[in-house]
């Protein structure tokens, strides 16, 4: 039996041994999830909401212990675990507690009384069945719980796989869900690396939600396509921050440091490209360097940046740093490492020829580049294969929002960073190679269900006008009807030129058929006499 040992990136502390899920156990879990999911789907949205709402007091009561597990597993500082992992889930729960029922409610659709006499139409939403969720190591609690809870509100069963680098957080999530009044096996966890993720896909879930890097995302999508399984992909970012000379420079500099170095830069929405207007570039760079020098790393009484989780990710950061320096970039200091703690570095004199400006770094490097005019800033920001998030900084709000409308991203924020992605009512997701699909907000909840369209006819007619038999005359009558509905000219003009067709269809008119027909004749007579 294969196991994985979990250790803390902070000091190597052993956090537990976890048994890797076998292919057969994953298939068994899938079968059990289908049974549990059928019972859950039959509950009303209000009933599901009532059960899931009990998670809020549970999280609040155990807030400190939850944060402790997240800190040990991810290397985050304590405040980052609280604000970046736990708080967004509480906010999302509150949003869906209030709005899930109305979002998923049956929606009536207007029908044409001519084409669909006596008919009503509606759209209902149904859960997919079993949703598989594969989450990353950088925010393992938030980025598992958010899609997991969304899937549950929508009526699905869930099988989730956290990264092999954050297994204690996976155990935490499973334990929390087991303390809710959920059907047995509604929420299950599989343990392992990418090969277990592949087994989970091959077990045939009805929907797959994946958060991670572009390369792995491609493999996930390719695997899912073999079945096929609908996928939602939240992939990487190379997010730009545009600072104009009329911005509050001190606030913007502080935001850039937070946006670039929060969680040691290990966030898909980190500020990874900073563009500053030339007329204020030197002043802004000085503010950045001063601020970066004051940032503290470590888990002491004061600490802004925690440990990096992955040795492999540090190698990426070093490769980007070395490449930039080799091509002439200047740095606020060397890339210093103390265990898994990495000192943040500001880079300038950079260009788009450098890896640090083109590839996702996912670490504590903040490259800064100048621009002169608005069009150049937009061109630089859009010069990327990725399109997740962006921020624009200017005291001219109209200008900033206009620029935001030109950026090729799925999300933007003016005069702030990162915070917009935590808004529970705003759908979050990327464009270009940053993925597709959304979660959070009404759109996110709908993505975990599918629409079913229904039409109910209450017609008492012996037959419908489009039924057999057909003839050349019938063709001309239908042609006249189409011209009456969609053709040019006033209503009176369309009635006059298509009168023979309308006469032929009078028996199919909706509601008070005879009276409507008499009214139409009186109208035409009045128009002629007038």
> Which of 67, 262, 268, 280 does the annotation list as catalytic?
268
Which of 426, 427, 381 is closest to 408 using CA atoms? 381
Rounded distance, CA 480 to CA 474, Å?
10
Pair 49, 42: CB distance under 8 Å: no
Is 177 an annotated catalytic residue?
no
Rounded distance, CA 216 to CA 191, Å?
17
What would the two tokens of residue 204 be?
A: 């045939």
Rounded distance, CA 440 to CA 459, Å?
41
> Which of 80, 85, 234, 360 does the annotation list as catalytic?
234
Q: Is the alpha carbon torsion for 268, 173, 81, 363 positive or negative?
A: negative
Phi, psi of 133 (to 5 degrees): -125, 120
Say if residue 134 is exposed, middle or buried (CB neighbours under 10 Å; 0-12, 13-18, 19+).
Answer: buried
Residue with tokens 């792995």: 216
Rounded distance, CA 143 to CA 148, Å?
9
Phi, psi of 442 (to 5 degrees): -65, -40
Residue with tokens 């464009």: 431
Residue with tokens 């070093």: 318
Rounded distance, CA 339 to CA 311, Å?
10
Is 262 an annotated catalytic residue?
no
What would the two tokens of residue 470 be?
A: 């057909």
Report the DSSP pairing between strands 337-338 and 107-109.
Answer: unpaired
What would the two tokens of residue 460 be?
A: 């008492």
| Residue 366: strand pairing partners | 346
Rounded distance, CA 136 to CA 166, Å?
8
Cα-based torsion angle of the residue sequence 318, 319, 321, 327 in order, rounded to the nearest 10 degrees = 160
Residue with tokens 């038999």: 469
Pair 40, 48: CB distance under 8 Å: yes
Pair 363, 313: CB distance under 8 Å: yes
Cα-based torsion angle of the residue sequence 472, 475, 480, 483 in order, rounded to the nearest 10 degrees = -140
Rounded distance, CA 26 to CA 21, Å?
7
Residue 140 CA, distance from chain mean position: 15
Backbone angle region of 362, left / alpha / beta, with phi > 0 → left and psi within -120 to 50 → alpha: left
What residues are annotated to the active site? 234, 268
């Amino acid at each position: 039996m294969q196991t994985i040992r979990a250790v803390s990136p902070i000091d190597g502390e052993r956090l537990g041994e976890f048994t890797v899920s076998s292919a057969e156990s994953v298939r068994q879990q899938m079968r059990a999830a289908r049974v549990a999911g059928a019972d859950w789907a039959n509950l009303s949205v209000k009933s599901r909401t009532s059960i899931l709402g009990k998670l809020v007091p549970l999280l609040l009561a155990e807030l400190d212990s939850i944060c402790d597990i997240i800190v040990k597993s991810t290397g985050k500082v304590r405040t980052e675990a609280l604000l970046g992992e736990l708080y967004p889930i509480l906010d999302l729960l509150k949003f869906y507690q209030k709005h899930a029922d109305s979002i998923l409610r049956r929606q009536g659709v207007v029908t044409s009384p001519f084409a669909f006499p006596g008919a009503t139409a509606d759209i209902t939403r149904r859960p997919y069945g079993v949703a598989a969720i594969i989450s990353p190591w950088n925010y393992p609690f938030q980025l598992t719980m958010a899609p997991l809870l969304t899937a549950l509100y929508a009526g699905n069963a869930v099988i989730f796989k956290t990264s092999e680098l954050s297994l204690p957080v996976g155990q935490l999530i499973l334990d929390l869900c087991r303390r809710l009044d959920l059907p047995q096996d509604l929420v299950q966890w599989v343990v392992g690396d990418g090969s277990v993720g592949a087994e989970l896909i091959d077990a045939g879930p009805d929907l797959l939600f994946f958060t991670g890097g572009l390369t792995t995302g491609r493999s996930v999508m390719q695997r899912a396509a073999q079945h096929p399984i609908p996928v939602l992909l939240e992939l990487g970012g190379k997010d730009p921050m545009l600072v104009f000379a009329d911005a509050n420079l001190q606030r913007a500099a502080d935001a850039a440091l937070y946006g670039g170095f929060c969680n040691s830069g290990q966030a898909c929405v980190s500020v990874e490209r900073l563009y500053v207007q030339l007329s204020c570039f030197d002043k802004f760079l000085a503010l950045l360097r001063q601020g970066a020098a004051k940032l503290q790393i470590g888990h002491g009484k004061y600490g802004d940046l925690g440990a990096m989780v992955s040795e492999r990710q540090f190698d990426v950061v070093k490769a980007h740093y070395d490449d930039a320096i080799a091509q002439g970039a200047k740095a606020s200091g060397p890339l210093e490492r103390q265990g898994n703690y990495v000192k943040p570095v500001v880079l300038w004199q950079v260009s788009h020829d450098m890896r640090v400006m083109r590839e996702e770094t996912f670490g504590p490097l903040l490259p800064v580049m100048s621009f002169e005019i608005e069009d150049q800033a937009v061109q630089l920001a859009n010069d990327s294969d990725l399109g997740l998030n962006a921020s624009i900084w200017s005291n001219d709000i109209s200008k900033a929002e206009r620029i935001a409308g030109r950026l090729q991203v799925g999300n933007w924020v003016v005069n702030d960073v990162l915070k917009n992605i935590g808004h529970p009512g705003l759908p979050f997701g990327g464009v270009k190679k940053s993925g597709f699909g959304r979660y959070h907000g009404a759109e996110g909840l709908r993505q975990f269900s599918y629409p079913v369209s229904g039409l109910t006819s209450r017609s008492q007619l012996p037959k419908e006008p489009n039924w057999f038999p057909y003839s050349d005359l019938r063709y001309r009558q239908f042609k006249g009807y189409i011209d009456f509905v969609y053709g040019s000219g006033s209503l009176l003009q369309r009635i006059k030129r298509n009168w023979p067709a309308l006469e032929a269809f009078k028996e199919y008119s909706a509601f008070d058929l005879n009276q409507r027909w008499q009214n139409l004749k009186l109208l035409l007579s009045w128009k002629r006499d007038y």
